[in-house]
Amino acid sequence: MIFRFALLACIGLIISCQPPRTEGRSAAADITAIKAVLEKQVNAWNEGNIDAFMEGYWKSDSLLFIGSKITYGWDSTLVRYKKSYPDKATMGQLRFDIMRVDFISTDHYLVTGRYTLLRANDQPTGIFTLWVKRVNGAWVVVYDHTS
């Protein structure tokens, strides 16, 4: 009897440690899709296209971007990016190094990574944390804390 209970407990533990499944998708498929969104952002940035880069963000007044200051909303974040990076030389070449992607719930993940901008005279780098959410079937960044 004790053996049977221990076996059932072990099976339960093994099942609970499996990657979460979400509506017929695996966590691995979600992570791949999220990384694809971030890769599109990097490609858009490296083409000097801030408008296309912003497609990875939630187009909502509830978007929150935290950098050197707090910016609320998609429109304000776009203005901030265009003011801070007025030309391709200032933008440089962006690289993301994703450190981890953590499951929060069915439609929510937390992404932690490092960004690096390769420019002629410097290479600024820092850490970012993104809350990524599935909105209308698409993964978008709803919260960005970059330092």
**What structural domains and CATH numbers belong to the chain?**
26-146 (3.10.450.50)
Find out whether 136 and 105 touch, Cβ atoms under 8 Å. no
Overall pTM surpassing 0.85 (yes/no): no
Cα separation of 22 and 12, whole Å? Answer: 19
| Chain centroid offset of residue 5 CA | 41
**pLDDT value at 116 more than 70:** yes
- pLDDT for the residue numbered 23: 55
Mean pLDDT of the 35-63 span: 98
- pLDDT for the residue numbered 22: 46
Assign 144 a pLDDT band (cuts: 50, 70, 90). Answer: very high
Instruction: Give the closest residue to 59 by CA, choosing from 125, 127, 126, 140.
Output: 140
CB atoms within 10 A of CB 35: 16
Supply the mean pLDDT for the chain: 88
DSSP classification of residue 70: E
Mean pLDDT of the 17-23 span: 46
Mean pLDDT of the 96-107 span: 96
